[in-house]
Amino acid sequence: MAKRPGRTLEEAVALAEAVLKEKDELREGAFRDAREIQRAAARVLRGGVGKSRASRAAAREQLELASAHSRTLRRSLKAHPDLYDSGFLETPLQELAEAYILLARVEGSAVPTHEEIAVTPAAFLLGAADAIGEFRRRLVDAMREGRIADAEAELEAMEAAYAALSGIALPDALVPIRKKMDVARSLLERSRGEVALAVRMREHEKAIREATRAEGGRKKRGRRKR
């Protein structure tokens, strides 16, 4: 008499289906968390961070909430690392890192680590590369408003960020940063030229004003002598 198998194909199929159903539910929840992370980061990046204490506090609150979503997501997907690494989190986590770096720049505070803000190491590096573009935007705004000293400070921030990232020698499979660094280098070169031109124009205008004042003083002294 043939021995009856302990588990039928139907039962094995049901077990596999149950695992995939759980994975699908987790996936849907993970997508919702990812959207919340990206939404919070985008509000900070698109709207910028104001100079007031209230606006900075509001930006930090949004980003801390996004980090909380990221930690929750990481815990929920701990048993399914294939979902966590599937790529749908790449952009949200990069933007979260970029927004935190921008906020640190505006506040003059310490830059957080990838662990502190709950992003992956690769997302942090890619977000840092994108932050160079945000510094460039602040530079352009400062120049438009005639704040040349502020523009020079933003150029220094761009140069420091580029220097910190330019030594990275990792394969694209781990962190595809080379293309972003090519863009950053182009922005940096353009910004150097624009700031140098603005500084020369400022010095030229200053020289003209001083010459005008000196000429006015000589004319006044000449009239008094007559």
pLDDT at 203: 79
Asked if 96 and 127 touch (Cβ cutoff 8 Å), the reply is yes
**pLDDT 10s digits, 75-86:** 888 888 888 887
**pLDDT 10s digits, 106-151:** 999 999 999 999 999 999 999 999 999 999 999 999 999 999 999 9
Residue 6 domain-assigned? Answer: no
Residue 105 domain-assigned? Answer: yes
Closest CA to 101 of 134, 77, 68, 76: 134
d(CA 189, CA 182): 11
Here the CATH number for the domain that contains residue 212 is: 1.20.58.2140
Residue 185 domain-assigned? Answer: yes
pLDDT at 105: 94
**Radius of gyration in angstroms for the set of CA atoms belonging to the chain, rounded to a whole number:** 27
| 76, 160: one domain | no
| 153, 72: one domain | no
Domain of residue 192: give its range: 120-226
d(CA 203, CA 55): 35
Residue 35 domain-assigned? Answer: yes
- Number of domains the chain is built from: 2
pTM recorded for the entire structure: 0.83
Q: Poorest-confidence range of 38-47, 53-62, 146-155, 208-217? A: 208-217
